[in-house]
Structure 1
Amino acid sequence: MAKDPNLLGEVSRAERSPLRYFIGEIYSGNSLRSTISVGNEKKRQRVYNTMFHLPLRCERLICAGFFVCLDSFLSLLTIMPARILMTIWRLLKTRQLQRPNAAELSDFACFLVLVMGVGTLQLTDISLIYHFIRGQGTVKLYVVYNVLEVRNMISQAITLSTCIVAHNNALLALLVSNNFAEIKSNVFKRVSKDNLHSLVYYDVVERFHITAFVLFVLAQNILEAEGPWFESFLTNALMVYMCEVFIDLIKHSFLSKFNDIKPDAYSEFLEDLSKQTLNENSEDHHKNLTFIPLAPACVVIRVLAPIYATLLPSGPLLWRLFWIISWSGLTYIMLAIWKILVSLSLRSLATWYLKQRMDRKQHMD
């Protein structure tokens, strides 16, 4: 058998300089090439996309969408009241009844729905619902949560609060059962790119609703919890978010892999979201993130009102009214500052991302 001179030369070099051989192995490519098959580069790239590229782009899109929802939520609590006050002031100043335009009618309609929603929730006995749900078995909590999903957010928040403060595995059982049902109903379906676009926006809205639920639980603990509770609350809240992130990544990874959708699709979704943030008109309105913040706003106002009530001093009605106006004004200023920061940051990041996408497209062309 003829001897391979290249092989003999490599062995002799390794014998002369072990360090050079080790460095050569580092720069030689795949470290396991001697024990695994070369494989198909296209299949390997699909695996890399599923494991690394897609989860990062998906979570980046969901986080960006979350702040878009937060911006809409803050607009409801800051911009809408200011516009209503300006409209009323204009009517009082001119003393002329003018037909309101569509934007003004929308503001008054949203304000009316918000007041009615908060008023309805004020009549709801949260303690009664809480103890009713707490009396259910661990398995029944999953059923209660999904039945109440079509009813209202306050009941879902109470269910989550019950699971968090329970001294058993109720929260874990709720998360596992609910998320397992979500995976089962989504991952093995044939979906198009447009359907995936709608699904990721649904996950964005769901992430924001979970944040509203967590705020509800925090408010309930501040009012009713006894003893040290913050560490347990923080641990359980992190568990909820980590499970939600983990399930979303698994769901989208499977959907993209089985439907042969590349990670760049999520970059296109983020591009559409950036255009929506900058109020650039899109020809296809199905690509826009649709979020109505009325329900979360009603829940947040309902659960924060008792906390503010504990801060009011006892005394005459006028004195209490003064503090109500003071706390309301201070809260409005804080929310307005958050609104400005979130809006300007979103617009700046959206402009930067669109420029990056445009430069990349020009470079590819």
Structure 2
Amino acid sequence: KLRHQAGTTDYYYLFIFWCSCRVHYLSLLRFVSAELTRGYFLEHNEAKYTERRERVYTCLRIPKELEKLMLFGFFLCLDAFLYVFTLLPLRVLLALIRLLTLPCCRLSGSRLLQPAQVCDVLKGFIMVLCYSMMHYVDYSMMYHLIRGQSVIKLYIIYNMLEMADRLFSSFGQDILDALYWTATEPKERKRAHIGVIPHFLMAVLYVFLHAILIMVQATTLNVAFNSHNKSLLTIMMSNNFVEIKGSVFKKFEKNNLFQMSNSDIKERFTNYVLLLIVCLRNMEQFSWNPDHLWVLCPDVCMVIASEIAVDVVKHAFITKFNDIPADVYGEYRASLAFDLVSSRQKNAYTDYSDSVSRRMGFIPLPLALLLIRVVTSSVKIQGALSFICVILFYLGMITLKVLNSIVLLGKSCVYVKEANMEEKLFQSPPSTVPSRESSRAHRSKHTHEPAGESVEEGMLASIISQPTHQPECTASKLPTSESDQFLTTPDESEEKVLIQDGTELIHRAPKKDLLEIDRFTICGNRID
């Protein structure tokens, strides 16, 4: 009987265990069935998924919009670069003819040369002096000196040269602008400078040193091309991909991205010229054998492709992480087009090549000087036929320059019109330097006005449209432009500038308009 009761208890526990297993089994089947048939509706969070889709579309649009900007900027740099070889010598020749013939019949009180002609003559003299100084630099000795260094040392040298090139560009345009203004400043104005000759010597020294720096860059790149295992070229190309790491995961504003785009345009054009110099030097060493050009083509294409890929990836992820639309590149293109259109006006205050230098940090004089030095040392001109070929080549360059300028001007007018920026071409900027009394009255006047009006007035001040030349009797008038102040540090609310001849402060709105941003303007406490 006890045994029968024990068996019944065992069956009972087995039955309970079987039921629990069946329940768990049914729960497992129900869970698996729920996982297989579970549904959800993306439309419940429509805004989120729409935003994600737009980000994907933005990333897909970035390469097209970026390359349109890069192509337009490339031809802008090419136009400024060709100007040094084509129109600048002719303008210098016309200015010298005027300088030699005008004293015989000039009217009293008239200028010997117009300010633009003075600047052209100064540029011509700088190029001639620096070219004569470049003959004392031995390219072959520099090449073998660099070739004897280790790969790691050359990689470090190349990075240092890139940083030095940016520093030279930032300070070099200031030196050239100071020379131009010192040479063309009205005579009646109280002199507050060291004189034209010291400024001219500083400009000559700058252009010469910058040309030497670019020559070292070209020589290092030439060594990388001629190395047997191409290890140095690979390391130098990998340096471009390191740039992605340093830029993608940082906060960028619209103005910062504009500066980076200008820097990429200038860097790409400079690299193309450096590749041209490398090809010229290599073709000279192989007696201009066309077969060797096909040997260089894979390396040249690899460098260009890596540069384009890095720029596309960098800009795509910067716009993604900072929620910047792809249409912003159209605004950047319109800003560059505005510089070109305004430089063709009668009231332009600067040459277009100088405008490109300020906006992009591209100074064509040192690069053109180096290219002239390399071409004259690589190409031997002998006989009348060679001179005829040189003349035809020069006429071809002039034709290319004129055609490029016409196409760029037409495209720029279209871009400016699409951006609704025509009215800014006819705005009258402030043409006088405010005195202490006028600035005090101006400040007291604006203390009773709304803050929005002062900001709007600062935004309306165009950097391009400047007053036409005034007679020398109005020497107190001085063209001013906020874009000429290359290094400005705007505060979050407003900027304060200390006047040297007084203790008063002038409050200025920070630069937010793209037309007021150049390559070396600090935006958000950084320069990219």
TM over 0.5: yes
What's 1:341 paired with?
403
Residue identity (%): 31
CA distance in 1 between partners of 2:57 and 2:96 (Å): 58
Q: CA deviation at 1:288?
A: 4.0
What's 1:119 paired with?
132
Aligned residues between the structures: 313
Note closer, same or farther for the CA distance 1:35–1:156 as it changes in structure 2 (3 Å cut).
farther
What's 1:209 paired with?
270
What's 1:312 paired with?
382
**Could you say what secondary structure the match of 1:278 adopts?**
helix
CA distance in 2 between partners of 1:63 and 1:120 (Å): 34
Note closer, same or farther for the CA distance 1:185–1:115 as it changes in structure 2 (3 Å cut).
farther
The within-5 A match list for 1:1-365 is 40-50=49-59, 52-96=60-104, 98-149=111-162, 150=164, 152-169=213-230, 170-176=232-238, 178-225=239-286, 228-279=291-342, 288-309=359-380, 311-313=381-383, 326=388, 328-357=390-419
Note closer, same or farther for the CA distance 1:289–1:174 as it changes in structure 2 (3 Å cut).
closer
Amino acid at match of 1:93: T
Contact 1:187 1:251 in 2 (8 A): yes
CA distance in 2 between partners of 1:222 and 1:305 (Å): 14
**Could you say what secondary structure the match of 1:229 adopts?**
helix
What's 2:519 paired with?
none
Q: CA deviation at 1:36?
A: 12
CA distance in 2 between partners of 1:90 and 1:264 (Å): 48
Q: CA deviation at 1:195?
A: 1.2
Contact 2:134 2:373 in 1 (8 A): yes
CA distance in 2 between partners of 1:111 and 1:324 (Å): 25
CA distance in 2 between partners of 1:237 and 1:157 (Å): 13
CA distance in 2 between partners of 1:117 and 1:204 (Å): 26
CA distance in 2 between partners of 1:122 and 1:146 (Å): 26
CA distance in 2 between partners of 1:125 and 1:36 (Å): 73
What's 1:7 paired with?
none
What's 1:20 paired with?
none
CA distance in 1 between partners of 2:262 and 2:66 (Å): 11
Note closer, same or farther for the CA distance 1:185–1:112 as it changes in structure 2 (3 Å cut).
farther
Q: CA deviation at 1:113?
A: 2.2
CA offsets per residue over residues 265-322 of structure 1, 9 Å max, x none? 111101112222222689xx9994453211210111011102332x314xxxxxxxx6
Give the TM-score taking structure 1 as reference length: 0.78
Amino acid at match of 2:257: L
CA distance in 2 between partners of 1:274 and 1:108 (Å): 27
Note closer, same or farther for the CA distance 1:140–1:180 as it changes in structure 2 (3 Å cut).
farther
More deviation, 127-136/110-119:
110-119
Bigger relative CO (Cα 8 Å, ≥ 6 apart)? 1
Contact 1:272 1:288 in 2 (8 A): no
Amino acid at match of 1:122: H
Q: CA deviation at 1:204?
A: 0.7
Q: CA deviation at 1:62?
A: 1.0
CA offsets per residue over residues 80-115 of structure 1, 9 Å max, x none? 111111111123333348443321221122112222
Contact 1:141 1:174 in 2 (8 A): no
CA distance in 2 between partners of 1:251 and 1:219 (Å): 31
CA offsets per residue over residues 189-222 of structure 1, 9 Å max, x none? 2121111111100111111111110111111012
CA distance in 2 between partners of 1:119 and 1:236 (Å): 33
What's 2:431 paired with?
none
CA offsets per residue over residues 138-164 of structure 1, 9 Å max, x none? 332211212233261111011111111
Amino acid at match of 1:295: P
Contact 1:212 1:299 in 2 (8 A): no
Note closer, same or farther for the CA distance 1:324–1:83 as it changes in structure 2 (3 Å cut).
farther
RMSD: 2.8
CA distance in 1 between partners of 2:152 and 2:68 (Å): 34
Contact 1:161 1:217 in 2 (8 A): yes
**Could you say what secondary structure the match of 2:325 adopts?**
coil
Gaps in structure 1 of 5+ consecutive residues: 1-33, 314-321, 359-365
Contact 1:65 1:204 in 2 (8 A): yes
Give the TM-score taking structure 2 as reference length: 0.55
CA distance in 1 between partners of 2:416 and 2:75 (Å): 17
Q: CA deviation at 1:327?
A: 5.1
CA distance in 2 between partners of 1:167 and 1:269 (Å): 42
